[in-house]
Amino acid sequence: MDNDAAHNRVSRVNGHRASDPGALNTDERTRRARTRSRHGVFGAAAGVCLLAIITDQLTKVWALDALSNGHARPLISDLLTLQLTFNSGAAFSLGGDVTWLFTVLSVVVLVALGVLVTRAQRTATILSIALLAGGAAGNLIDRAIRPPGFGVGHVVDFINYNGWFVGNVADIWIVLGAILVAWFFATEHETREPEPDDALSGPLSNDQ
């Protein structure tokens, strides 16, 4: 009887929607509103990505000019100094002899992030992916346009973390974005909003 009641309820709802133009119009308006909202989120994500790229490239231009003498400038005592270096590899200058490989990997990562952003549901997740992508794109630009040549350019680094690591603003965005993406994806299922039709799967009235 419960299964029959559920089937009858769904049939009545669908029949009501089919016979009521107003209900169909409401559904269509809801879908359009959601589409506009998602487009707005993607627009904001594009802005975040672009801002990450701009801040990275502008600070690198500044570093190339202001730190060209090679001397370190203390920023926070010896814990954080500004010192210009050029990185042909990855973090900690690893893989300096295969710069082209990191260029290819960067492109693959950006493509993967592009796919990932279309599957994310929460606005915060989408914006975090955009921040991560902006950081990755910032360093990829260096590999594309910096000497010694296209695809093997050296990344401009200038933030020295007490001798442990020398990075740039793009690295900050990458680390921050990766942490946020991992966190929001891990908790996304806890805050995902139910679809409108999910109401049909909720508790049923005692139809007989």
* Whether residue 56 lies in the annotated active site: no
Contact criterion met (CB below 8 Å) for 206 and 7? no
Compute the distance between CA of residue 89 and CA of residue 40 in angstroms, rounded to an integer: 37
Compute the distance between CA of residue 59 and CA of residue 73 in angstroms, rounded to an integer: 15
Q: Quote the crossing angle between the two packed helices 169-191 and 123-145, to the nearest 10°.
A: 160
Compute the distance between CA of residue 96 and CA of residue 85 in angstroms, rounded to an integer: 13
User: Which residue bears the tokens 């950081």?
Assistant: 135
**How many helices, marked H, and strands, marked E, lie in the chain?**
5, 4
**Annotated catalytic residue within 27, 56, 97, 157:** 157
Contact criterion met (CB below 8 Å) for 29 and 37? no
Beta bridge partners of 87: 155
* Whether residue 65 lies in the annotated active site: no
CA-closest candidate to residue 158, choices 89, 92, 82, 91 = 82
**Annotated catalytic residue within 56, 171, 197, 207:** 171
CA distances from 194 to 109, 121, 198, 199 (A): 31, 11, 6, 8
The first and second tokens of residue 198, run together, are: 């999910």
Task: Cite the active site residues.
Answer: 157, 171
